Amino acid sequence: MNLQLKHTLPAVILATHFGVQAGSNSFDQAYSSISEADLRSHVKTLSSDEFEGRQPTTIGEEKTLAYLTENFKKWGFKPGNGNSFLQPVELLRIEADPNVVLSIGDDSFTYKENMVVGTSREQETVSLKESELVFVGYGVNAPEYNWNDYKGLDVKGKTVVILVNDPGFANPEGDKFQGKTMTYYGRWTYKYEEASRQGAAGALIVHETEPASYGWSVVANSWSGPQYKLVQPDGNKGRVAVEGWLSLDAAKSVFKKAGYDFDKLKAKANKGPIAQTLGTTASVTVKSSLKRSTSNNFIATLPGSSAKDEHVIYTAHWDHLGKDPAKEGDNIYNGAHDNATGTAGIMEIARAFASLKQKPKRSVSFLFVTAEEQGLLGSQYYAENPIYPLSKTVANLNIDAMNIMGRTKDISVVGFGKSELETYLEKAAKRQNRHLAQEGHPQAGYYYRSDHFSLAKVGVPALYAKGGDIPVDDETAQYRKKMSVIQRGCYHQVCDQYRESWDFGGIVEDSQLYFEVGYDIANSQDWPKWNKTSEFQRP
Ligand SMILES: [Zn+2]
């Protein structure tokens, strides 16, 4: 690097960082070309009955991929995966036999009533035979919070019993973790991952409604019927053999019979790492039927004009829940809000990028992932099998279920404070006279419940934001009230369908906002970083 360059470099960074680029004519035209009519038309098509609820591996997938391919070709995009727009994702369907009994000591527990169990392994039978039970508090190993519930513990072949959420939830006023805001250590998915790393044979999470943010029925329903996993070369043998939950009553009874008071041990676990052998054992045999099938991620790329090998990646999941032939009447889960809106959003952003006269310096990719509804599987597959090296992936911008409640004065950032990407978002929000706000229920851990999380986990700074809570004017506030009543209870139900009465103002603004954020990053030389307090960092 010569001296002169050294002198000019900060100015270049400043200029691109604060969006001198984003003031150009071509940018403004592309920005304002993001239109309500196009967004509506995509949402309407993707959520039509003809697409049958966009379930992976069905005709709904074929139609969705065809629709994406047709549009991206029309806009002049290059396939993102060599000469293909598709990245095949092999899925494993595991359906556990519901006739299963979990015995702990002299007690037996019943599937769905007071326990659920299953496996992630590609194995028809897995079992625990008198596996020693160990209470490991929150089951958290977090060096950045100086907290390790497994310290000095050997749980190989044993079954760990774990509290849900993280130690911050029980200590909102204290300095533990991030108070009520859930960290990834609080998510149930983390608990099984850590138990697996520790070599446990089984892992049982104790359900409690408040810290879980949902009732037992949600656990019972989502753990019955077929479960989907990614096919892994090792058949997922690295995972604990048996994963499950105990209802609170079941857990209390187990602790009591073992001579312990659940509430007292929990109070101890809130103060610091705890491990307590319960002096009892668990036995269970889980029988499953297995089936492999192939679905696809869709990826299109706009090659950068100078820093081609550096990538900004937009994500939205194209899939939804399909249809339920056993259901009477309307049986199609159209998934208009979740996530035809997000799919339409990044389609429009892609079209806007393609219309730019001066292409961005860095490459920009549009990744539509499959099987989000089955546990973020398409994005997990991409993160484990990235098409572009993760070390060259500058940022991920994710959209899931856009704002159908009309324009807002704020923009709700899910996982507020995690990365420097918020600087870009804030700048773009200013153009719309909007401000950033923390999401409404940070204790529910929504940052860990959509596809950007798969990329965050492998270190790529990832942003997930959407329309906020403050309506832009009185009329919008009235509309919002009315529409909230109409939409209530439609999450993951057949009534999540397209309505002509939807106000697309918020969707237009959020799409423009995300377009500007991606545009600025793609024209910058900066590598936005995770904030220090984030549980994610680049490797
Ligand atoms: Zn969903």
Ligand 1 center from residue 316 Cα (angstroms): 11
373 CA distance to ligand 1 centroid (A)?
5
Measure the CA–CA gap between 149 and 203, rounded to whole angstroms: 14
Answer yes or no: is 487 within a domain.
no
Domain membership flag for residue 38:
yes
Q: How far away, in angstroms, is 338 Cα from ligand 1 center? A: 5
Distance 135 CA to ligand 1 centre (A): 33
- ∠ CA 320-181-184, nearest 5°, is 60
Report the separation in Å between the CA atom of 66 and the middle of ligand 1, taken as the mean of its atom positions: 22
Span from the CA of 496 to the centroid of ligand 1 (angstroms): 10
Q: How many domains is the chain partitioned into structurally?
A: 1
CA of 399 to the centre of ligand 1 (A): 12
**Residues 408, 509: Cα–Cα separation, whole Å:** 9
Assess if residue 273 is contained within a domain: yes
- Other CB atoms within 10 Å distance of the CB of residue 130: 11
Please give the Cα distance from 210 to 443 (Å, whole number): 10
Q: What is the structure's pLDDT at 213?
A: 86
CA of 321 to the centre of ligand 1 (A): 8
101 C-alpha to center of ligand 1: Å? 31
Tally of CA atoms within 13 A in the half-sphere of 322 that contains its CB: 16
Instruction: List residues, by chain if needed, whose CB lies under 5 Å from ion ligand 1.
Output: 338, 373
Residue 21 — very low, low, confident or very high, per pLDDT cuts 50/70/90? low
pLDDT at residue 16 is higher than 80: no
Cα 332 to ligand 1 centroid, rounded to whole Å? 14
Q: How far is the CA of 109 from the centre of ligand 1 (A)?
A: 30
In tens, the pLDDT along 353-365 reads: 999 999 999 999 9
In a domain, 469, yes or no: no
Q: How far, in Å, CA of 79 to CA of 300, rounded?
A: 5
Measured N-to-C along each axis, helices 341-354 and 505-522 cross at an angle, to the nearest 10 degrees, of 50
Residue 416 lies inside a defined structural domain of this protein: no
pLDDT at 256 over 80: yes
How close is the Cα of 374 to the center of ligand 1, in Å?
A: 9
Query: How far is it, in rounded angstroms, from Cα 432 to Cα 363?
Result: 26
Centre of ligand 1 from the C-alpha of residue 168, in Å: 27
Report yes or no on 415 lying in a domain: no
| Per-residue pLDDT tens digits for 435-457 | 999 988 888 788 888 999 999 99
Q: How many Å lie between the centroid of ligand 1 and the Cα of residue 428?
A: 27
344 vs 44: CA distance, rounded Å: 9
Cα 318 to ligand 1 centroid, rounded to whole Å = 10
Cα of 228 vs its chain's centroid, Å? 15
CA 377 to chain centroid, in Å, comes to 10
The pLDDT value recorded for residue 23 is 58
Q: For residue 284, which of 246, 252, 258, 253 has the smallest C-alpha distance?
A: 246
Alpha carbon of 449 to ligand 1 centroid (Å)? 9
CA of 514 to the centre of ligand 1 (A): 21
Q: In whole angstroms, what is the distance from residue 86 CA to residue 65 CA?
A: 8
User: For residues 338 and 400, is the Cβ–Cβ distance under 8 A?
Assistant: yes
Residue 115, domain member (yes or no): yes
Cα-to-centroid distance, 401 and ligand 1 (Å):
8
Give the confidence band of 263 by pLDDT, cuts at 50, 70, 90.
very high
Ligand 1 centre to CA of 492 (Å) is 6
For ligand 1, the distance from its centroid to the CA atom of residue 320, given in whole angstroms, is 7
> Which tens digits make up the pLDDT trace of 302-337?
999 999 999 999 999 999 999 988 889 999 999 999
Tell me, yes or no, whether 23 lies in a domain. no
pLDDT at 251: 97
Domain range for residue 73?
32-401+447-463+521-531
Q: Read off the pTM.
A: 0.86
Transcribe 363-414 into DSSP letters. EEEEEEES-STTTSHHHHHHHHS-SS-GGGEEEEEE--S---B--BSEEEET
Expressed in angstroms and rounded, the spacing between residue 371 Cα and the centre of ligand 1 is: 10
**Ligand 1 centre distance from Cα of residue 174 (Å):** 33
Q: What pLDDT is attached to residue 330? A: 93
